[in-house]
Amino acid sequence: MGQNIKIRRGVDIKLNGAADQKSSPTSTSTVAIKPTDFHNLIPKLVVKQGDTVKAGSPIFYDKLHPEMQFVSPVSGEIAEVIRGEKRRILEVRVLADKETVFETHDVSNASNSDATAIKELLLKSGNWPLIKQRPFDIVADPGKSPKAIFVSAFDSAPLAPDYNFILKDRGEDLQTGIDALAKLTAGKVQVVTATNAGVFGSLKNCERHVVNGPHPAGNVGVQIHNIDPVNKGEQVWVVNPQDLAAMGSFLRTGKIDINRTVALTGSEVKAPQYFNVTLGTAVEALTKGNLNDGGLRVISGNVLTGDNVGGKGYLGFYHHQVTVIPEDDEPEFFGWIAPGLNKFSLSRTFFSWLTPNKKYNLGTSQHGEERAFVMSGEYEKVFPFDIYPVQLLKSMLVKDIDAMESLGVYEVAPEDFALCEFGCTSKIDVQEIVREGLDLIQKEC
Amino acid sequence: MKLFKNLFDSLRPPFEKGGKFEKLWPLLDGFETFMFVPGHSTKKGAHIRDGIDLKRTMITVVIALVPCLLFGMWNVGHQHFLAVGQDAELMEKFIYGAIKVLPLVIVSYGVGLGVEFIFCIKNGHSIQEGFLVSGMLIPLIMPVEVPLWMVAIATAFAVVFGKEVFGGTGMNILNPALTARAFLFFAYPTKMSGNSVWVATDGMATVDGFTGATALGNAVEKGMAGVPPYMDSIMGWIPGSIGETSVIAILIGAGVLIYSGIGSWRIMLSMLIGGYVMGMIFNAWEANAYMQIPAHHQLMLGGFFFGMVFMATDPVSASQTATGKWIYGFFCGLLGILIRVVNPAYPEGIMMAILFMNVMAPLIDHYVIQANINKRLKRAKVAA
């Protein structure tokens, strides 16, 4: 049986706008698939504007792994290819048909296939990108064999969706997914939950662990670090539970599962709740008529790690949550001395410590300007790794690969530093530094 | 509020790039960000951020210093009227003290911020807030009769050689405030020690038996007989540097720092333990009268508590790892009492000890981090 782990360092940022446990259907006329969701991927387009595709037809593939297909979530017409600087592809938009026509794959033998066959099936059907890897937090390298595959069955981020609610009827899909993953690793599939109850409690063919504590307890990186840490040269793969169910559904039906249940959350949502959406949906399909007035930031993902997609943007490939918070760029008059009852802080320098259970409507203000590192011990309070975060960051800033390796760079992803970034007195963009550090290691090693 | 906003908006054009006063931009920026925490919104990474910034952090420390400052002002007056043998009311003492102390504070801030502005203008940086605290610490660790020009020189020296040559706030190796004091201690020893600087007498005749010596000065000569009673040492109505005498006022500040999460309780606690251990060793040794002062009393004298709460905990010059903080604090305390007792020429052993440990802090961190690295290497080898 798995371990029972208590995480002590971390913090739950209490925000208004948690989703009610009910879900409604939505419809979207366009979807987008964004190569930028897959970090360091070099996409090679196989369609052009005006082509018609089915749900599950390839849109682009990975230049380094041509067998890895990225597919359309709907059937319809390629409406537009949005490019950025240096003609980098940012988005491929697909105009959806009324009725979705699927590309079908033969999965009749899936339950008896070996690892190679499963891999091939997942790669060509467009399911492979659902698997990510540590180190580097990128799409898993199909040429490698991981020492374990982790599924974090709960999300502890602010206002995060509850997978026990989303997946309550998907036990069979989850089990099929796990059975397939189990063949891909020499080790075990490790499923980490917050409680033993719910749909994950009855899964077999895997090792289950219970992790408790404040965010980032639900971050898979924290769980890997505590259960089976990544050493140099090793790989651990990770899959989000809803993506795992989608993979299982595909292996049972032969059709790509394009449905996701997404939580619409945040203080600026009138009625926060869950929605059944199509992968890559326009966020407008969820937010229309459901937002407060004023300057808003619509985030695909959570407030710590999500992407600012704007009101007209599209849901990210790995996101299961949309958060809407107020934009805030108002200067504060003598903000450094004001009591600050409405400010949330990890320190007790604002009088908001008088109301520890208060929930906040936090906006996007940075609350100050960037400074040099001054405070010490601050990151450590919210960084439950046996790693020295500031020293690791400094080694990344000076691009010292040896130091990065010895300080544990293979065990971290930008999201693990999100709370450090949140709490940083000096307003340093920590996640970006971590990402650049990882990119450097990936390039050099 | 709107008025100030408009004022700054109208002032800005000549200071912007290409403007007449382009080089003076840090000056305007410094004042503007002093009045308004700038309304930058997040561009990358986490979309929401903690309410705290460096200004808030530094102001919290300044607030923690206020009890020491107020008590120090009163005590300056109190000591004065005791020395000249006059009776005085509480307010009278306080006002006398304020007249003596405030010029020191003003000179310290004026010179320090002036130097900082010059460096910022030269480097094109915006003002960093580190000096807000140093500027308050410097007067509080001065004897009241120190000439203002010395404070000015010491502050300038501390800001330039203690901080800016290393790259400014966050980059310094030594605590700037202690650098200022150490500078004066070695450059003008006659003005920073002896018996004539600790109590303001204004040249008036003093009462019989008045020496003007601090508790530590007396302890060297007479041991326990020269030390003020325990309660007086804690309450702080004894001669000494302006802010260092009252343990009560310092503990109020310590409470603010620890509760708000700004000051490191690890360093404070381990330094207290270190000082106590050394005190006990001397108590057991008893080679001279100074060593006989009980450890718990020894700690209440001189600048031990002030150094412990406000100097050793400076996050930039202290150890940065949790384990390192325990070691660093312990040795600050241990060495502080050791230097003070063994070498009476340096009554302020705490200052020496903390500066020495500032230099050692990166080394301590190095070994603490190396231990973590070795643990990881070992794990990798077992796995391989």
Q: Give the pLDDT confidence of A239-289 residue by residue, as tens digits.
A: 999 999 999 999 999 999 999 999 999 999 999 999 999 999 999 999 999
Asked whether residue A141 falls in the same domain as residue A163, the answer is yes
A304: closest chain B residue by CA: B46
pLDDT of residue A75: 94
Contact across the interface for A424 and B369, Cβ inside 8 Å: no
Could you state, in order of their start, the residue ranges of all structural domains in chain B? 60-370
B61: closest chain A residue by CA: A349
Max distance between CA atoms of chain B, in angstroms, equals 82
Contacts for B312 with CB less than 8 Å, ≥ 6 apart: B267, B268, B271, B318, B328, B329, B332, B354, B357
Peptide linkage before B13 cis (omega within 30 of 0): no
pLDDT digits (tens, 9 = 90+) for B324-349: 999 999 999 999 999 989 887 787 78
Asked whether residue A205 falls in the same domain as residue A60, the answer is yes
pLDDT digits (tens, 9 = 90+) for B65-77: 999 999 999 999 9
**pTM more than 0.90:** yes
pLDDT of residue B32: 78
- Exposed, middle or buried by CB within 10 Å (0-12, 13-18, 19+), for A39? middle
Report how far residue B272's alpha carbon sits from residue B281's, in angstroms, rounded to the nearest whole number.
Answer: 14
* CATH number of residue A266's parent domain: 2.40.240
Cα angle: B264, vertex B270, B271; to 5 degrees: 90
> Which residue of B4, B9, B32, B49 is the best one to mutate when testing the A interface, meaning the one whose CB has the most A CBs within 10 A?
B49
For tokens 């450890």, the residue is B295
Q: Which residues of chain A have a CB within 8 Å of the CB of B372?
A: 386-388, 407
Asked whether residue A383 falls in the same domain as residue A313, the answer is no
Residue that finishes a domain, picked among A196, A228, A253: A253
Interface of A with B in 53-82 (CB under 8 A): none
Nearest alpha carbon to residue B367 among A410, A388, A379, A383:
A388
| Number of domains within chain A | 3
Report how far residue B198's alpha carbon sits from residue B204's, in angstroms, rounded to the nearest whole number.
Answer: 15
Supply φ then ψ for residue A215, to 5 degrees. Answer: -55, 140
Does residue A388 sit at the B interface (CB-CB below 8 Å)?
yes
pLDDT of residue B1: 65
- Exposed, middle or buried by CB within 10 Å (0-12, 13-18, 19+), for B280? middle
Asked whether residue A284 falls in the same domain as residue A248, the answer is no
Nearest alpha carbon to residue A19 among A166, A148, A119:
A166
| Mean pLDDT on B157-162 | 94
Q: Which residues of chain A have a CB within 8 Å of the CB of B175?
A: none
Asked whether residue A269 falls in the same domain as residue A307, the answer is yes
Residue A96 domain-assigned (yes or no)? yes
Residue B352 predicted with pLDDT over 80: yes
pLDDT of residue B213: 80
Does residue A330 sit at the B interface (CB-CB below 8 Å)?
yes
pLDDT exceeding 70 applies to what percent of chain B? 99
Asked whether residue A342 falls in the same domain as residue A391, the answer is no
> Which residue of A308, A348, A369, A397 is the best one to mutate when testing the B interface, meaning the one whose CB has the most B CBs within 10 A?
A369
Asked whether residue A54 falls in the same domain as residue A140, the answer is yes
Asked whether residue A120 falls in the same domain as residue A220, the answer is yes
pLDDT of residue A1: 64
CA B21 to chain CA mean position, Å:
35
| Mean pLDDT on B223-230 | 84
Residue that finishes a domain, picked among A236, A253, A270: A253
Asked whether residue A247 falls in the same domain as residue A293, the answer is no
> Which residue of A374, A383, A398 is the best one to mutate when testing the B interface, meaning the one whose CB has the most B CBs within 10 A?
A374
Asked whether residue A266 falls in the same domain as residue A235, the answer is no
DSSP B36-51: EE--PBP-SS-SS--S
Tell me which H or E stretch contains B280: helix B265-285
Does residue A362 sit at the B interface (CB-CB below 8 Å)?
yes
Asked whether residue A39 falls in the same domain as residue A98, the answer is yes
Residue that finishes a domain, picked among A354, A388, A403: A354
Segments of chain A with pLDDT less than 50: none
- Which structural domain, as residue segments, surrounds residue A213? 4-14+27-253
pLDDT band at B305 (very low <50, low <70, confident <90, very high): very high
Asked whether residue A57 falls in the same domain as residue A174, the answer is yes
Cβ(A273)–Cβ(A297) below 8 Å:
no
Residue A374 domain-assigned (yes or no)? no
Instruction: Give the CB-side neighbour count of residue A37, counting CA atoms within 13 A.
Output: 22
pLDDT of residue A25: 92
